Amino acid sequence: MARYLFRRLATGILLVLLATTLAFLLASFTMHPRDNYLARNPPIPESSIDQKLDEINQNDKTPVLQRYATWAGGIVRGDFGVNVEGKSINEIMGRRVGVTLRLLFIGSIVGAVFGVLLGVWGALRQYGYSDRLITVFSFFMLATPVFFIAVLLKYGALQLNQFTGRQILYYTGETSVGITGSTWTLLVDRVQHLILPTLAIALGEMALYSRYQRSAMLDVLGSDYLRTAQAKGLTRRKTFYKHGLRTALIPMTIWFAFSFGTLIVGATFTEVIFSWPGMGAWFIDSVRKQDINVVAATTLFTAVLVLFSTFLADVFRAILDPRVRTG
């Protein structure tokens, strides 16, 4: 077991390094940080542009491999370098990582829990009205991109606020600027800011999980061992939830791993639209500013998260499936 885990960790680290390297090299070919200085008025002399670009290790006159070596040397020491404005990436990242992780954490839990519940509910009432309603809801949600959901939520929130005449839901930022008060006021303020972005990423997840959970549950419900369990005298409820649901959850772990990349991209849209200062919004911003170092740093963060999610999926599977644990 230890050897297996070690091998997975080693492959994981290798994949992250390769992915980040790829992102750095790709960005070095497609982006020209020099453009940021060329359009200035009055024009900046070329020598001082070169000097500035050298300081941030993004000068296109230096060979790519040399820049890569400098950058990689920093990464090994845990230093991500500086952004185009010359500020330390480590410092900014420290602030932004938390924002994104919180959004992803709450969003994926809400999405997974409600998705699974909807799926189970639908499977137990197959072809009933509620089942059909859930099916239609999930088909629509799966066809709606996150950015459109987010814009619609924003629009809906505004209507609600106007209708009630009070600011119930906020749609910009993570907290109100300069808010003071008791812990309770601060908490309520955070929740008011949190609801819409969480919904924006969780609704799609919910739809996805409810579809898969429903079909997995239906498979299990038709199986012989469940009939046997009922024949032995267990109650319907007990067989469904203790024996049925547990087995039907196993395939979900795989979908969790595969859908996590989509979830991260969804969080990126959400952060931009609701102006949350997270990693995703930073990535979009850095592509627009042609900031190679930040692009590489955000890519590394994404790669680590994706790999961590596959690891987490394995852990869940081991918990649910005794064959995996002992096998």
Partner 1 sequence: MALEPLLPEQVLHDPTSDPIEEGEATEALSRGQLVWRRFRRNRAGMAGIAMLGFLFFLAFVGPHLTHWTYEDIDPNAFLKPPSLTHWFGTNQIGQDVFAQTMRGLQKSLVIGLLVGVLSTSIAAVVGATAGYFGGWVENVNLFTISLMLVLPDFLIIAIISPRLHDASWLWFVLLLAIFQWTLTALVIHSLTLSLKQREFISAARFMGVPSRTIIGRHLLPNMASFLIIDATITVGAAVLLETGLSYFGFGIQPPDVSLGTLIADGTASAITFPWLFLFAGGFLVITVLAVSVIGDALRDAIDPQSKTRSS
For partner 1, the binding residues (CB under 8 A) are 8, 11-12, 15-16, 18-19, 22-23, 26-27, 29-32, 126, 135, 139-140, 142-148, 151-152, 154-155, 158, 211, 214-215, 218-219, 251, 254, 257-258, 261-262, 264-265, 268-269, 272-273, 283-284, 287-288, 290, 295, 299, 302-303, 306-307, 310
Nearer to partner 1, 128 or 181 (CB): 128
| Shortest Å, Cβ 287 to partner 1 | 5
Nearer to partner 1, 147 or 234 (CB): 147
For residue 163, CA distances in Å to 111, 157, 311 come to 28, 10, 46
DSSP classification of residue 77: T
| Shortest Å, Cβ 115 to partner 1 | 15
For residue 208, CA distances in Å to 23, 140, 200, 205 come to 29, 11, 14, 5
Nearer to partner 1, 98 or 261 (CB): 261
Nearer to partner 1, 196 or 295 (CB): 295
Helix (H), strand (E), coil (C) string for 152-165: HHHHHHHHHHHHHC
Extract the tokens encoding 247: 């087995």
- Residue 211's Cα: distance from chain center in Å? 20
Amino acid at 150: A
For residue 222, CA distances in Å to 18, 95, 154, 254 come to 45, 50, 42, 22
| Shortest Å, Cβ 295 to partner 1 | 6
| Shortest Å, Cβ 180 to partner 1 | 28
Nearer to partner 1, 201 or 272 (CB): 272
Nearer to partner 1, 148 or 181 (CB): 148
Helical H segments across 165-278, by residue range: 183-221, 224-231, 236-238, 245-273
What CA–CA distance (Å, rounded) separates 43 from 34? 12
| Shortest Å, Cβ 303 to partner 1 | 5
| Shortest Å, Cβ 47 to partner 1 | 25
